[in-house]
Amino acid sequence: MGTVAYAQDLPPDPLAPRAGLSAEMRQAYEEGRLIFNGHWRPSGTNGPDDLVGLGPLYNRLSCASCHGAGGRGKPPEGPNSPFLTALVRIGVVDKDGKVSAHPVFGTQIQDRAVPDVAPEASLSLDWEPMSGQFPDGTEYELRRPVLTIAPDPGPDARWSIRVAPQVYGVGALADAVGPQFTPGLFGWKALEPTLVTQNAAALSQDIGITSHYQPVPICPSDGCAQGKPEIDGARLMLLTLFTDHLAAPEPDPPPALGKMLFTKIGCAQCHRPDLPKQMGSGMVHAYTDLALHDMGPGLDDGLPEGGVDSAKWRTAPLWGLGRVLKKDPAFPLLHDGRARGAAEAILWHDGSAAGARKGFMALSKEDRDALIAFLTSL
Ligand code: HEC
Ligand code: HEC
């Protein structure tokens, strides 16, 4: 038995699997892909498949609605644009700094709901400009998100905007030897320990689909009944097999100057080009150490989560940046998409990454461009 050939004359498939899947695994992968792309429907509605049980509260209808073609999301452009590929986490922090779920919104705002149910809230995002200057006199402008939640979540509420990260390559992150002291591996705060718990959390929080891992439905505050899991174990496994086997992004040959500068000014200390694999030989070239770092007050959105401080974030894997930056050099980056392109993302680095930012700022314009060209090759 060999591997099956799938439509080789089509343009490259962003959701292609890693090389070397058996025909049987490839079949399971394709079934997982259908679940990833499929739209869930409210209970009691008819359709071509059995993706039933949406909501009652939810953010989007499918995994692919946020991770389109396996890629990353964007924040809304302005106050009149909806949240399409980003979401808002929320909590309350009491005077002793203890964090708990928000009494009305829980831990995530679901801004959509099935017919006859009111969405939890409406969200409106605006941007506040901030200006700065490189030592060479070149001016730059950054922007900070200003979110309005209606109804008002109250004075103790803290929230955090999150764009959907890319999912291609996530399986390889789990193969790498990561740090020992993070709660998990996945998400902007490395909270979810495995792909199956990550996917079950996404089904529950983002689409309103219960599973064995997340049996309690996300409901309006007057509650709703808990039934049997809306996704069975077999289909959750197919979805997870699919995410686990998504191929990692392939870099271009790296421009030499930018690559050298990346190491020289300290970027590679956190964005590690090679992480050893837990098993077997070879390296994972994800440009992350998978660890959490304090990124300083600018990126601190005030909401600690799962024991991780509000200023701490997982070193974002930089592989795959080329896929977005080649099409749009100002593609929104960082956990909330505030950075318009790579230079702004670096300018937000502070806290433990302040030295690297200063190193970047001290470069000549040509060297800064060479570093960005390197990031665009990944
Ligand atoms: C409403 C938008 C949205 C939907 C729908 C959604 N996701 Fe996500 N996804 C996100 C966001 C935002 C994060 C980062 C969450 C965080 O910071 O904890 C994420 C993180 C992930 C990650 C971890 C990536 C990494 O690098 O650590 C995986 C895997 C994932 N999602 C898979 C899925 C699957 C599978 C589905 C469908 C069941 C799904 N997502 C549905 C927005 C979404
Ligand atoms: C102390 C560790 C650390 C150092 C040093 C560091 N980074 Fe980062 N980097 C991070 C973390 C953590 C994030 C995620 C922050 C967030 O989303 O709020 C990040 C995010 C990024 C992003 C956005 C990626 C995305 O997916 O949105 C880029 C681009 C980036 N870093 C480039 C660099 C470059 C270039 C350097 C060197 C000038 C550098 N970083 C140095 C930790 C670091």
Residue 220: is it exposed, middle or buried by C-beta count within 10 angstroms (0-12/13-18/19+)? middle
| Res 212: pLDDT | 97
Minimum CA distance residue for ligand 2 atom 36: 267
Residue range 263-292, pLDDT digits in tens: 999 999 999 999 999 888 889 999 999 999
- Residue 3, pLDDT score: 53
**Residue 243 DSSP class:** H
For residue 359, which atom of ligand 2 is closest to its CA?
38
Tokens of 291: 């660890």
pLDDT at residue 224 tops 90: no
Q: Which ligand 1 atom is at minimum distance from the Cα of 191?
A: 18
Q: Measure the CA dihedral 218/333/304/297, to 10°.
A: -150
**Mean pLDDT to the nearest integer, 324-343:** 98
> Atom 3 (ligand 1): residue with closest C-alpha?
66
User: Whose C-alpha lies nearest to ligand 2, atom 1?
Assistant: 353
The mean pLDDT value for 188-195 works out to 95
348-to-143, 335, 355, 356, 360 alpha-carbon distances in Å: 10, 11, 12, 11, 11
Specify the residue with its C-alpha closest to ligand 1, atom 36: 63
Q: What is the share, in percent, of the chain residues with pLDDT greater than 90?
A: 87
66 lines ligand 2 (CB under 6 A): no
Domain borders along the chain are 256-377
Residue 89 has pLDDT above 60, yes or no: yes
Answer whether 247 contacts ligand 2 (Cβ < 6 A). Answer: no
Nearest CA to ligand 2 atom 20: 316
Ligand 2 pocket residue status of 88, Cβ below 6 Å? no
Task: Determine the atom of ligand 2 nearest the C-alpha atom of 166.
Answer: 26
Q: Is 132 exposed, middle or buried (0-12, 13-18, 19+ CB in 10 A)?
A: exposed
Domain covering 256-377: architecture: Orthogonal Bundle (1.10)
pTM above 0.85, yes or no: yes
Q: Identify which ligand lies nearest to the alpha carbon of 339.
A: 2
Average pLDDT of the chain? 94
Structure confidence at residue 280 (pLDDT)? 84
Confidence of residue 7 (pLDDT cuts 50, 70, 90): low
Helix, strand, or coil (residue 77): coil
Strand partners, 140: 132
How confident is the model at residue 151, as a pLDDT? 97
In this structure, which ligand is nearest to the CA of 189?
1
Which of the four pLDDT bands, split at 50, 70 and 90, describes residue 180? Answer: confident
pLDDT at 1 (0 to 100): 44
- Tell me the CA–centroid distance for residue 298 and ligand 2, in Å: 13
Residue 63 CA, closest ligand 1 atom number: 37
Residues whose CB falls within 8 Å of the CB of residue 192, separated by 6 or more in sequence, listed in order: 184, 185, 186, 198, 201
Return all residues near 194 (Cβ < 8 A) that are at least 6 apart: 174, 184, 185, 186
315 lines ligand 2 (CB under 6 A): yes
- Which atom of ligand 2 approaches the CA of 360 most closely? 38
Ligand nearest to the CA of 206: 1
